Amino acid sequence: MAGVAQGTRTRTDLDPLPPPGPGTGPGLGPGLGVDVERQRARLLALHAHLAREREAALSPAIERALETAQMYLFLALGYTGHTDELFPDELQVPDELRGAQAASPSTDATEARESRS
Amino acid sequence: MAGALAHTVDQRFWNRATQTADRERLDALHLARIRHLVGWAYDNSPLHRRIYNAAGVKPADIRTWDDYHHRLPFTDKPDYVRDQESSESGFGGLALGPEHWQQYFHTTGTTGRFLHEAFSQFEMHKAGTQLCYGLWGQGARPRDSIYFCFDFGMWVGLWTYYWGARNLGLTIVSGGGATGEQRVRHILERRPAIVCGTPTYLLHLAEIAEREGLDLRRAGVRILAGGGEAGLSVPRIRERLTEAWGAERIHDAYGIGEALFIGQSCDVWAGGVHAIEDVCHSYSVDPDSGEPVTDAGGVGEHVITSYTHLVQPFIKYRTHDLVRIDDRPDHGCGWTWKHFPGVVLGRSDFMVTIRGVNVYPTAVENLISEVPGLTHHYELHLSRRDGMDRMLVRAEAAAGVGDLSDLAARLSAHLRNNLGVRLETEVVHAGTLPRYELKTRRIFDAREPGARAATPAEGR
Ligand SMILES: [Zn+2]
């Protein structure tokens, strides 16, 4: 399967929780330590690099090999406490698809607020 | 693999950063993952959307642990079974369709109502990480070999062990399609570092070896690993296995059919297993009220959220296993992950009330193993007479034991002293009972279907 898995979606209506501990910057995980955060950032960059290479794959063989590589890489991300995405396809949702999802009813924050009142 | 690691890396742990993180940081990770998953399930799984809508809950409502505990509805196996029976795919609770599946399975059960389970390729890789934490802790390293005493079928538990072995980098030796005697001979020839099987089967192989005049201790097996039954955390069975195989380590894995082996032994055995918190959230509730168990040492029903399942999410899912959770264990292993002393203490949905006393088959099973002179082979026969539930415990004597009636009386007394009720007991000669591969097959329920509470333990 090339590119994005159909049906994969990423939540856009969840407000970030306050950072749970010291040493946790915005957008980072809940602080498993500076070294772990640095590794997590490097792994994310590597994942993006693999995604670009996958788009330029010269054969199904190469594309599939890189897809599998991304799956293993995503295991490493999980070990570093990565929570923004829970499986590799979520990382690959392009911006235009994210925009379409934000307009879907289930991700409408207003609806969620109404249900609380 | 490990050879590329820097010298400064702490190799005692498979993944030190999370395995030793403090409770507050772990809980923050859990809450972030749970919130993400609830949104995922709401958006993609019609079953979850129906359940959450019926409860008037939207993903954005789940912000705190109090929201998770009190606002988010539980899910249970019947929700999925009903959904699978009414869906064209034959699968329940799906968030991603067949174009994403790499393999599917079904849970074990005695009622014939299997729960079908589907996995994407990534989920299988992720499931393969679960066993690594425990096996690494026991000293398994890449290029150690592991022997599987299995024919691989539709039960996912065996496969996850296989994926775990691949993920850790073990050399795999398959004992598929072989007889017990052939497996004993394979093990003596191949000398695997690890042998994987249920405790019943590992003891069975030891019996075969003895019968054939073969010494399994000469195979040099370091680690016996398995799960699927309580035995690997029962002291007397651990002792027997250690003795018969000459193994240094016994590795127990606690599995839930729907969430795989989410509990693992550590290197300092403390009578139970740790939750694998990288892949699952665990807490326990009062089975009747659904309120979280807050008192230390309190027994409750284990409720899980799996981070391995995206095709078929399991969120705040009732396992019906009764557990005791120590959320700040301190027995010297260094893991901070929750610990389940005694692993599964019983089943909340498979209970027999005998003269007013609630009796769980798992508790009976554990007590049988404590009576000297009995083997680990047994059957439980449930019946109902004049509206009253009855349980006959049929156990097997060890070889050479002569006075069976005395042994039956001692078993009866041991059960009465620990359960508070007298059960019918019968002890049969050594070698009489069938060797069951799965625990559920040893429970015979002759009560009318409507009189049963539910099916016995799935996957354990
Ligand atoms: Zn431990």
Q: What part of A 69-108 touches B (C-beta under 8 Å)?
A: 71-72, 74-75, 78-81, 83-89, 101, 104, 106-107
Determine the distance separating the centroid of ligand 1 and the alpha carbon of A74, expressed in angstroms: 27
Mean pLDDT in residue range B99-106:
91
- Report the alpha-carbon distance of residue A42 to residue A45 in Å, rounded: 5
B-chain residues within 8 Å CB-CB of A1? 99
Q: Sheet holding B424-428: strands in order across?
A: B424-428, B388-397, B374-385, B443-445
- Report the alpha-carbon distance of residue B316 to residue B68 in Å, rounded: 8
- Alpha carbon of A57: minimum distance to chain B alpha carbons (Å): 20
Taking a C-beta distance cutoff of 8 angstroms, is the pair B393, B424 a contact?
yes
CB contact under 8 Å between A15 and B29, yes or no, is no
Among candidates B29, B58, B120 on the partner chain, residue whose Cβ is nearest the Cβ of A83: B29
Among candidates A32, A79, A88 on the partner chain, residue whose Cβ is nearest the Cβ of B122: A88
Nearest-CA residue of chain B relative to A75? B126
Among candidates A15, A86, A88 on the partner chain, residue whose Cβ is nearest the Cβ of B307: A86
E strand or H helix at B85, and its extent? Answer: helix B77-86
pLDDT value of residue B439: 56
- Report the alpha-carbon distance of residue B362 to residue B391 in Å, rounded: 13
Structure token digits, residue B295: 């008192």
* Residues carrying CATH 3.30.300.30, chain B: 352-451
CB contact under 8 Å between A111 and B58, yes or no, is yes
- Report the alpha-carbon distance of residue B433 to residue B37 in Å, rounded: 46
Query: Out of B76-80, B221-225, B304-308, which region has the weakest mean confidence (pLDDT)?
Result: B76-80
DSSP state string for chain A: --SSPTT------PPPPPP-STT--TTS-S-S-HHHHHHHHHHHHHHHHHHHHHHT-SSHHHHHHHHHHHHHHHHHHHHTT--S-SSHHHHT--HHHHHHHHTSGGG-HHHHHHHH-
Percent of chain B with pLDDT over 90: 63
CB contact under 8 Å between B36 and A30, yes or no, is no
Interface test with A, best of B33, B37, B40, B94 (most A CBs within 10 A): B40
pLDDT value of residue A11: 45
Q: Residue B435: is its pLDDT beyond 80?
A: no
Whether the CA torsion B141, B144, B150, B153 is positive or negative: it is positive
Nearest-CA residue of chain A relative to B306? A86
CB contact under 8 Å between B123 and A5, yes or no, is no
Determine the distance separating the centroid of ligand 1 and the alpha carbon of B303, expressed in angstroms: 21
Nearest to B372 by CA among B351, B341, B403: B403
Q: How far is CA B426 from CA A106, A108, B129, B420, B439, in A?
A: 59, 64, 43, 18, 19
User: Dihedral angle at the C-alpha atoms of B241, B245, B250, B251, nearest 10 degrees?
Assistant: -110
**Which amino acid belongs to residue B284?**
S
B1-349: CATH, from 1.20.1260.10, 3.40.50.12780, 3.30.70.1560, 3.40.710.10: 3.40.50.12780
Q: Residue A46: is its pLDDT beyond 50?
A: yes
A11 at interface of B, judged by CB pairs closer than 8 A: yes
Interface test with B, best of A87, A91, A113, A114 (most B CBs within 10 A): A87
- Report the alpha-carbon distance of residue B264 to residue B14 in Å, rounded: 12
pLDDT band of B192, cuts 50, 70, 90 = very high
Mean pLDDT in residue range B223-241:
87
For tokens 């501990």, the residue is A21
B15 at interface of A, judged by CB pairs closer than 8 A: yes
pLDDT band of B113, cuts 50, 70, 90 = low
Q: How far is CA B148 from CA A80, B196, B294, in A?
A: 31, 5, 40
pLDDT value of residue A26: 40
ipTM, two decimals? 0.79
pLDDT value of residue B157: 84
Select the more confidently predicted residue: A95 or A114.
Answer: A95
Among candidates A14, A33, A115 on the partner chain, residue whose Cβ is nearest the Cβ of B17: A33
Nearest to A43 by CA among A4, A78, A95: A78
CB contact under 8 Å between B32 and A104, yes or no, is no
pLDDT tens digit sequence for B256-312: 877 788 999 999 999 999 999 999 999 999 988 999 999 888 999 999 999 999 999
Nearest to B197 by CA among B226, B221, B222: B226
* Residues carrying CATH 3.40.50.12780, chain B: 1-349
Q: Residue B448: is its pLDDT beyond 80?
A: no
Which of A84-88, B221-225, B400-404 reaches the highest mean pLDDT? B221-225
Residue ranges of alpha helices (H) inside B149-299 are 156-168, 180-190, 199-211, 235-245
Chain-wide mean pLDDT for chain A? Answer: 68
Determine the distance separating the centroid of ligand 1 and the alpha carbon of B318, expressed in angstroms: 25
E strand or H helix at B124, and its extent? Answer: helix B121-137
CB contact under 8 Å between B25 and A30, yes or no, is yes
pLDDT tens digit sequence for B144-183: 999 999 888 888 888 999 999 999 999 999 999 999 999 9
Q: Provide the 3-class DSSP secondary structure of residue B226.
A: strand
10 Å CB burial of residue B62 (0-12, 13-18, 19+) is buried
Nearest to B82 by CA among B105, B53, B51: B51
- Report the alpha-carbon distance of residue A51 to residue A89 in Å, rounded: 10
* List of residues 6+ apart from B54 with CB closer than 8 A: B73
Among candidates A17, A72, A109 on the partner chain, residue whose Cβ is nearest the Cβ of B60: A109
Structure token digits, residue A42: 């490097």
- CATH level 2 (architecture), domain B352-451: 2-Layer Sandwich (3.30)
B60 at interface of A, judged by CB pairs closer than 8 A: yes
pLDDT tens digit sequence for A70-105: 999 999 999 999 999 999 988 764 454 333 333 333
CB contact under 8 Å between A1 and B44, yes or no, is no
CB contact under 8 Å between B58 and A112, yes or no, is yes
C-beta atoms surrounding B214 within 10 Å: 18
Q: How far is CA B412 from CA A79, B14, B231, B368, B426, in A?
A: 49, 44, 21, 10, 9
B-chain residues within 8 Å CB-CB of A36? 17
What is the value of pTM for the model shown? 0.78
Residues linked to residue B274 through DSSP beta bridges, in sequence order: B264, B339
pLDDT band of A114, cuts 50, 70, 90 = very low
Chain-wide mean pLDDT for chain B? Answer: 88
Length of chain A: 117
CB contact under 8 Å between B122 and A89, yes or no, is yes
- Report the alpha-carbon distance of residue B460 to residue B440 in Å, rounded: 8
Q: Could you tell me how far CA B206 lies from the centroid of its own chain?
A: 23
A-chain residues within 8 Å CB-CB of B36? 11, 14, 83-86
- The DSSP 8-state label assigned to residue B170 in this structure reads P
For tokens 């024919």, the residue is B151
pLDDT value of residue B351: 66
pLDDT band of B125, cuts 50, 70, 90 = very high
